[in-house]
């Protein structure tokens, strides 16, 4: 038997015949066919189911490569250096490292983002929404048919003051066509009572955060709801599986505010399993800076993700100046 490896020049798929463009970034070459994304790199090739690939790609693009590492699976991923970005094969995989098959290239973040955006746009067919729960979207398979730019170019809505205050965004309601998600029918819709002093009616406001977030039509997409200095509180609705294994470069806090998520925690460098964390409503967890995690939400749930945006942190964790966990018990 002879071992074969794809080079970056020969085609791996019938992607062109199926209507899909091929993309390159440095010596990486990306092709898609009916069911798979194919990734060729010097010395080897890799495959991922196309739906899983597009869901991961969607997050990497929308989050500007996020904090630290976005592992698309146990082999392929990106590391954000906040200006440049590494695209790697096998870097956090013991087998690839032992076999000396790790491959990595560094890009200007804006250049790789452009390739990723174009790939996402070309490879996402009509009817498939990479941000939607699997039960709320069509599938990603088959020859190229149409596109879904509306879904992949979604922008987070930015409020100027506070949602619902005069001059800012209207509060989401059923009447505006933003109903509570089918799995959040149990979420309380009570409106808080506000008793403002006369003259302060346009300054004082409150809304029901559970009701507000329960109208989100995307999954696994933290959106900033409060930004105070480096403290970023991000709410998100979760259903099915987080499409990436996130290897953070800092400690990250999770607050489960309804229902339940099960987290697989693995060692960030090797991928060895470390813990299974079951978070029920009200649970709070600090995810260490040296792990990677993937969450499973059997029923749609609401999670608060708390990130520290201090740009000195990655270096202070990687140098060992800070312990990878926040508290010594
Ligand atoms: C995470 O990797 O910490 C993460 C990403 C997306 C989410 C929730 C958590 O929706
Ligand atoms: Fe994370």
Place of tokens 């070309």: 122
- C-alpha to C-alpha distance for 297 and 278, rounded to whole angstroms: 10
- C-alpha to C-alpha distance for 89 and 323, rounded to whole angstroms: 28
Which ligand neighbours the alpha carbon of 236 most closely?
Answer: 1
Q: Give me ligand 1 centre to Cα 173, in Å.
A: 26
For the chain, the straight-line distance linking the first and the last C-alpha, in angstroms and rounded, comes to 56
Model pLDDT for residues 203-230, shown as the tens digit of each residue: 999 999 999 999 999 999 999 888 899 9
Note the pLDDT of residue 114. Answer: 98
**Number of neighbouring beta carbons within 10 Å of residue 316:** 14
Note the pLDDT of residue 173. Answer: 81
Q: Give me ligand 1 centre to Cα 265, in Å.
A: 13
Note the pLDDT of residue 311. Answer: 97
- C-alpha to C-alpha distance for 264 and 261, rounded to whole angstroms: 10
Note the pLDDT of residue 5. Answer: 44
Q: Give me ligand 2 centre to Cα 12, in Å.
A: 33
Q: Residue of the nearest CA to atom 8 in ligand 1?
A: 220
Is there an atom of ligand 1 within 6 Å of 279 CB? no
Q: Residue of the nearest CA to atom 3 in ligand 1?
A: 246
Q: Give me ligand 2 centre to Cα 296, in Å.
A: 13
Note the pLDDT of residue 118. Answer: 98
Q: Residue of the nearest CA to atom 7 in ligand 1?
A: 220
Rg (CA), the chain: 21
**Number of neighbouring beta carbons within 10 Å of residue 167:** 8
Note the pLDDT of residue 170. Answer: 78
- C-alpha to C-alpha distance for 107 and 84, rounded to whole angstroms: 6
Is there an atom of ligand 1 within 6 Å of 238 CB? yes
Note the pLDDT of residue 9. Answer: 62
Residues 6+ apart with CB under 8 A from 288: 251, 324, 325
Cβ contact 53:119 at 8 Å: no
Q: Residue of the nearest CA to atom 2 in ligand 1?
A: 246
Is there an atom of ligand 1 within 6 Å of 59 CB? no
Is there an atom of ligand 1 within 6 Å of 307 CB? no
Note the pLDDT of residue 2. Answer: 41
- C-alpha to C-alpha distance for 251 and 253, rounded to whole angstroms: 7
Which residues of the chain are modeled with pLDDT < 50? 1-7
Q: Give me ligand 2 centre to Cα 306, in Å.
A: 9
Taking the whole predicted model, whether its pTM rises above 0.85 is answered as yes
Longest dimension (CA), the chain: 85
Instruction: Give, for ligand 1, the residue of 265, 295, 300 to mutate: max count of ligand atoms closer than 8 Å to Cβ.
Output: 295
Which ligand neighbours the alpha carbon of 238 most closely?
Answer: 1
Is there an atom of ligand 1 within 6 Å of 303 CB? yes
Note the pLDDT of residue 1. Answer: 37
**Nearest atom, ligand 1, residue 220 CA:** 10
Residues 6+ apart with CB under 8 A from 262: 276, 277, 278, 279, 295, 296, 297, 298
Note the pLDDT of residue 125. Answer: 98
SS3 33: coil
């Amino acid at each position: 038997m002879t071992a074969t490896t794809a080079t970056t020049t020969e085609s791996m798929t019938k992607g062109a015949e199926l209507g899909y463009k091929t993309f390159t970034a440095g010596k990486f070459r990306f092709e898609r066919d009916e069911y798979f994304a194919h990734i060729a790199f010097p010395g080897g090739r890799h495959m991922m189911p196309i739906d899983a690939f597009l869901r991961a790609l969607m997050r990497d693009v929308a989050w500007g490569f996020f904090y630290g590492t976005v592992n698309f699976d146990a082999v392929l991923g990106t590391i954000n250096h906040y200006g440049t970005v590494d695209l790697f094969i096998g870097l956090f995989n013991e087998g690839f490292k032992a076999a000396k098959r790790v491959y990595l290239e560094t890009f200007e973040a804006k250049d790789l983002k452009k390739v990723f955006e174009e790939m996402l746009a070309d490879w996402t067919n009509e009817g498939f929404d990479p941000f939607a729960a699997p039960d709320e979207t069509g599938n990603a398979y088959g020859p190229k048919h149409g596109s879904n730019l509306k879904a992949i170019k979604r922008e987070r809505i930015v409020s100027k003051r506070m949602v619902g205050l005069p001059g800012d965004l209207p509060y989401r309601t059923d009447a505006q066509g933003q109903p509570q998600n089918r799995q959040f029918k149990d979420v309380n819709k009570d409106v808080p009572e506000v008793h403002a002093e006369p003259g302060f009616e346009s300054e004082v406001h409150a809304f029901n955060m559970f009701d507000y977030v329960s109208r989100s039509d995307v999954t696994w997409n933290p959106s900033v709801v409060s930004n105070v200095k480096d403290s970023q509180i991000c709410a998100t609705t979760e259903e099915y599986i987080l499409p990436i294994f996130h290897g953070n470069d800092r400690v990250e806090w999770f607050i489960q505010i309804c229902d339940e998520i099960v987290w697989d925690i693995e060692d960030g460098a090797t991928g060895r399993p470390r813990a299974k964390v079951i978070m029920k409503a009200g649970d709070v967890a600090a995810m260490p800076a040296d792990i990677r995690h993937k969450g499973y939400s059997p029923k749609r749930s609401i999670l608060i993700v708390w990130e520290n945006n201090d740009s000195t942190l990655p270096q202070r964790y990687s140098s060992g100046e800070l312990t990878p966990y926040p508290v010594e018990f």
